[in-house]
Structures are given as C-alpha cells and as structure tokens.
Structure 1
Amino acid sequence: MNGSLLIDNHGRKINYLRLAVTDKCNLRCFYCMPEDGLHWLSRTELMSYEEMLRSCSLLVKMGIEKIRITGGEPFVRKDIMQLLTAISELDGLKELSLTTNGVLTAPHVPELKRIGVRSVNLSLDTLDANRFFTITRRDEFAQVMATLEALLKHGIEVKINAVVMDGKNTQDILPLVQMTKELPVSVRFIEEMPFNGDGHVYTGLQWDYIRILEEIKSHYPQIQKLPDPSYSTAYNYQIPGHQGTVGIIAAYSRTFCGTCNRIRITPQGELKTCLYDDGGLNMKAMMRTGANDDELQTVLLNAVNHRAKDGWEAERTRVVHPGIHESMATIGG
C-alpha cells in the first residue's frame, strides 16, 4: 500500500469521512422518514463493527484525517462506544466527532470526553416541546436538552443542527439564535433537503440560505460575518456580545460543493462520494468476498477519481434510482 492521498478528479483533497453506523432512529422526524419508520436493515445487511473499523483504518492510511459518526441515530446501535473507542485510537486520525439526536446520548458524554471527542452535532429543530413532538413524533425533548447540558458541562463543542421547514418551525429561528447569547454553541440552520424516505415529490425549497439570513438580520441587524474555515459547509456569523455563533448551511442550494472534502459510507457499506449520488461501490460486499486492502484501495481511488463536480451533477447522473426518495437515515446524516 502506497499511502496515496485521496485527491479527486477536480483537484479536491478528501480528508473527511462520514460513517453511518445504523439506519435505525428512535425519532420519526417527518422530513427524514415516514411516521411508521422505514424497512430497517437486518443485522447481516449492516456493516459489522470489524468491517467499519477496517474501512476507517484503511481510509486514514490513505489520508482521511477526520471521521464523523452518524446514523440513523448512532446510540441505538448496541455497544457503539466500543467502536468509537477503537476508531479514536487509529494512528493518524486527527479528529473524531459525531452527530446525534441526543435522546440516548447524555449517559455517554463523560466517556466521549475521555476518548477525545471534541465536537458533537446535536439535532434540535425547535426549543418548543410541543413543536418538538409534532416534528419528531416522539416526546423526548427533555432528554435532548439533558444531553445539551451534559455536553456543555464536559466542555465538548456543540453545534446545534436545525432544519428550517416552511410552516413547521420558522418561528424557532429567532429563539435558536438567541441561545447563542448565553451559551457557547454554534446554531446552524440547514436548508431542507428532499431525503424524506417516503417517495413523495419534493416541491421545492421555501426557505433558502438567503431567506434564513434575511430573517435573522431583520431582528439582529448588527450580526457580523465571520471568516469561514477551510471546507466549511456553513456561512458563519456572530452577533456582537453573544458567546456563540450562527451558521447557515445551503444543503439544497449546494453552494459549498466546490471545496467539498468529504465522502460517506452508508450503514450498508456503500461509498458515496456525494450526498446526492446513487453510490455504486459497496465496501462491505468487497470485504465479505475476500478483497484485501490493496484491492480496496484501488477501487476507492477509482471512485474518488470519478467524482461529480457538485451535487447538481451528481443528482443529474443518478442511474439506479432517478429522483431522490431515500431517507437521510439510510444514507447517513
């Protein structure tokens, strides 16, 4: 193995892996999946922890420096902390983070801190308990807020992810922004995407990143633009006097594709070089048919060297399933 860095066919360095460990979730957010859930993958259809660790180890040797664990909801998978601990010990990995809905996370926060997790993305679309129930179809608001408190207590950086949905939670934009006054959190507003998992036609974006910013500016005209870190998916801002920051992620508008440094592995082991593509390379299948690391490296490099320029091109060239009907839970949030 020659340890080649992952450079795509557009000259972009790939150093960030998002690994989805399960498709299952204990919430039923309507923008992600139907009320009755999805046809969950069987245990044999999921990558094993050994396969995940092998994939991560190989990709770190190839140049991946940051790994984010996602789902579904990572903490619904049994013994997830064992996998997180093993990944955190990979030589060459600079950062391990995760995305969670916070329902089951609070008891694990001290251990997350111990193994070196410095940043957690917490999904929270509203600060109103009743609207939380309407959006998620579950009464778990108190548990999520307990996780937020635990993360801050243990000094773990918190990014709150709020999907902005027309007619559902736009009244929460300003209360979420106000959180940054007293708390050292980054509140990031995300454009709604068409990954609802139930096959209904996405009718278009009502609240894009421009409209979200205009809404915030109408009440906080003093808000200031911050420099965006390299590879940032968010436009970052801060209100003078506030401890935290505000971000806006143009997930549907896809304005950040030109600097994209990330790839994904789904719970089934499928590599996605773009959120909007239809995959094609199954790491799990290759490992289970005896592929060695050199063979895996070859196909990984080939996939990265045939990457779509942006999310729009990836969506246009989908072959297996024209249109987008997956859930984010099956792709990896």
Structure 2
Amino acid sequence: MLIDSYDRVVDYLRVSVTERCNFRCQYCMPEKPFSWVPKENLLSFEELFLFMKIAIDEGVKKIRITGGEPLLREDLDKFIKMIYDYEPSIDLAMTTNAFLLKGAAQRLKDAGLRRINVSIDTLKPETAHRIAAKDVLKNVLAGVEEARRVGLKVKVNMVPMKNMNADEIVDVLEYCKERDMSIRFIEYMENQHASKDISGLKSDELLERLREHYEFTDDGFDGSSPSHYYTMKDGYRFGIIEPYADDFCKKCNRIRLTAEGNLIPCLYFDEALSIGKAIKAGDINAAAEVLREVVRTKPEKNRWGGEDGESSSRAFYETGG
C-alpha cells in the first residue's frame, strides 16, 4: 500500500500516453504549434506496462489513461488490454476529447476499458469551434453516442467561461441528464499556457444560476473524488470541482506519469522524478523506489492561490489534467 506523509492512501495513477492533441482549447494550449515529442523520447507501451505492473503490485487500484489526446497514440487498446489482462479488477478509465472515439469505442471496451470522461463545453458548433479552434462538435457527440452504445460509462466535464459558454450550463446538464451521464462543472484552472482572455465562472456563481432552474441539496464530497456533489429533487447528481477551495487536496489519492516517464506527485507542481532510466533498464526495484519516493514527498496542497501567486509552468497537456 502506498501512503504519503499526510496519511493519504495513494491508489490512483493517471498515465499520459502522449502530450499531442488535435484540439487547441482556450483553457489549455491555444497557442501551441502542432508538434510532438520525438517517438524515441517516449516510453513504449511495453515499458509503460512494466511500470503499471509495479504500481498495481504496490497498491494502485485505479488507472486513468490521459494525454494530450490519448487516442492519437496508435494501438492504445493493446496497452489497455495489457493492463486488464494483468489485473482484471483494476478500474480502467480514460479521459478523451472524443473526436476520434466513434471508431475506437468498441475496441477500447473489448480491451477492458470501463469508463471515459469527455469534455463537452458547449452544444453549439460555433462555440465549440471557438473553444477548440476546430470544427469538432459533430464528431465529439457521435463519439459519445458510440461509447454509450458499446457499454462504456460516460462522465462529462464542462468548464463554464463567461462570455463564451456560461449561458449553456443548463443545456449541457440537461443533455447529460437525458442520457444518464453524470456531469462535473470544473472551475477554470489558471495556467501559463491558457488564453489570457478567459474569465471562469466560480462555483457560487454557477450554483446561483442553477438555482434559477432547479432545487437541489448539498451532498458534500464523495470518497476521494475532488468533486463537490449536489442532488436534484429527481435524484440526478452533478458535481463541481473547485481547485482553489481549501479542502480540494484534503483526500487527494493520485499521482501522474508523463509519456516520457516523469512521475509527478501533484498536478500543479513542477517537481518530478523520472522512472524512465530504471524502466528502460528493466530495473523493477529502482522504479519501485522512485514510486515510493514520489508518494512520500507528495505535497499536502497544490500551489493555486498561494501567497506568492506561484503556479506551475508545466502544461496540463503534459500531465493529463
């Protein structure tokens, strides 16, 4: 079992298989050129899998595949099947923009994937184009429907932004509710790579708008999830992720691995240790020691809202958000 110095059990690993993405979302990487890390710099799926086995043996129970956009990496389903075949009880999930999902959903499900998270920030094609710098909505919605058809559980994320999509909060919630998909509204997370024109909607503003349409109760947090949950009168639940809240990190149980082998203890920290050299050498003991050290030094809180206003220079597309 992996336990950090604040007595939190760390049993959730987010694995970025690529930093490449086919979107240029305003809140993530709007100005980044379409480029990629050389293939030789990335850990192969076989090397990533070797570390997955170490992590599972050390106590990891949930693995989420992320990017960039993970579906841009060829043969992703084979990597997922490696993990599933090693430990069928592992909670295997993926975060995707869903643009390529329609053609991949069945293979992913057959490989052992259980759940996906998809960002749907709008139901208007022109707004989606504005956010992603690409005509994406038709493909995204088709991917979501195919995922539902093959039996993948779908959770939707939405980042409400003033003067962009804040007027669609109810519409997106109703879209999810009609399809029995849960939704989480995520407060915009300030970062050095996002558009400077973004103004995010805070949770109190979001709740005020939702109360104009619904009655709901406050359920608080659910386990180690970062979402603050609310239940509507008809039983439908939605969540809000508030990264600036004092209790956001209180039950954090996750660490992150980049495609190049950097193991990161916190989303908004630059500090990392590499497992790349050990994994490429097949040194399981050395890689396991790096894992334990990263867990041991996992910080109590992220740096959002610190006294010095410090923020990470590492982009979310490198760490999987």
Q: TM-score, normalised by structure 1?
A: 0.88
Higher deviation after alignment, 322-331 or 43-52 = 322-331
Gaps of 5+ in 1: none
Aligned-pair distance for 1:314?
A: 11
1:217: which partner in 2? 211
2:300: which partner in 1? 309
Does the 8 A contact of 1:223 with 1:240 survive in 2?
yes
Task: Give secondary structure in 2 for the equivalent of 1:257.
Answer: coil
Q: Does 1:236 align with 2:201?
A: no
Percent identity reads 31
Structure 1's 313 and 32: CA in aligned 2 closer, same or farther, altered over 3 A? Answer: closer
Q: Could you tell me how far apart the structure 2 residues matched to 1:263 and 1:316 are?
A: 24
Aligned-pair distance for 1:262?
A: 0.5
Does the 8 A contact of 2:28 with 2:315 survive in 1?
yes
Structure 1's 315 and 49: CA in aligned 2 closer, same or farther, altered over 3 A? Answer: farther
Task: Give secondary structure in 2 for the equivalent of 1:44.
Answer: helix
Q: Does 1:62 align with 2:58?
A: yes
Q: Could you tell me how far apart the structure 1 residues matched to 2:199 and 2:43 are?
A: 34
Does the 8 A contact of 2:19 with 2:36 survive in 1?
yes
Q: Does 1:299 align with 2:290?
A: yes
Task: Give secondary structure in 2 for the equivalent of 1:294.
Answer: helix
Q: Could you tell me how far apart the structure 2 residues matched to 1:138 and 1:168 are?
A: 15
Q: Could you tell me how far apart the structure 1 residues matched to 2:307 and 2:218 are?
A: 33
1:269: which partner in 2? 261
TM-align CA RMSD: 2.5
**Alignment deviations for residues 250-302 of structure 1 (CA, whole Å, 9 cap, x no partner):** 134363201001110012211111111113201113323x3611122122212
Task: Give secondary structure in 2 for the equivalent of 1:264.
Answer: strand
Task: Give secondary structure in 2 for the equivalent of 1:24.
Answer: coil
Aligned-pair distance for 1:122?
A: 0.7
Higher deviation after alignment, 158-167 or 56-65 = 158-167
1:106: which partner in 2? 102
Q: Could you tell me how far apart the structure 1 residues matched to 2:199 and 2:245 are?
A: 9
Q: Does 1:74 align with 2:70?
A: yes
Does the 8 A contact of 2:270 with 2:313 survive in 1?
no
Aligned-pair distance for 1:191?
A: 0.9
2:314: which partner in 1? 326
1:120: which partner in 2? 116
For residue 48 of structure 1, the aligned residue among 44, 49, 52 is 44
Does the 8 A contact of 2:278 with 2:284 survive in 1?
no
Structure 1's 182 and 323: CA in aligned 2 closer, same or farther, altered over 3 A? Answer: closer
For residue 286 of structure 1, the aligned residue among 270, 278, 282 is 278
Q: Could you tell me how far apart the structure 1 residues matched to 2:159 and 2:59 are?
A: 31
For residue 187 of structure 1, the aligned residue among 183, 190, 196 is 183
Does the 8 A contact of 1:188 with 1:246 survive in 2?
yes
Aligned-pair distance for 1:156?
A: 2.0
Q: TM-score, normalised by structure 2?
A: 0.92
Q: Could you tell me how far apart the structure 1 residues matched to 2:305 and 2:291 are?
A: 17
- The residue identity in structure 1 corresponding to 2:317 is A
Q: Does 1:208 align with 2:202?
A: yes
- The residue identity in structure 1 corresponding to 2:212 is S
Aligned-pair distance for 1:205?
A: 6.5
- The residue identity in structure 1 corresponding to 2:260 is Q
Aligned-pair distance for 1:224?
A: 2.7
Gaps of 5+ in 2: none
Does the 8 A contact of 1:191 with 1:250 survive in 2?
yes
Aligned-pair distance for 1:234?
A: 0.6
Moved over 6 A (4+): 202-205, 313-318
Q: Could you tell me how far apart the structure 2 residues matched to 1:314 and 1:303 are?
A: 23
**Alignment deviations for residues 49-105 of structure 1 (CA, whole Å, 9 cap, x no partner):** 112111111000000000000000010111111111111222275210000000001
Task: Give secondary structure in 1 for the equivalent of 2:129.
Answer: helix
Q: Does 1:259 align with 2:247?
A: no
Q: Could you tell me how far apart the structure 1 residues matched to 2:148 and 2:244 are?
A: 30
Does the 8 A contact of 2:101 with 2:147 survive in 1?
no
Q: Could you tell me how far apart the structure 2 residues matched to 1:96 and 1:307 are?
A: 23
Higher deviation after alignment, 92-101 or 259-268 = 92-101
- The residue identity in structure 2 corresponding to 1:165 is M
Structure 1's 240 and 330: CA in aligned 2 closer, same or farther, altered over 3 A? Answer: same
Q: Could you tell me how far apart the structure 1 residues matched to 2:306 and 2:293 are?
A: 20
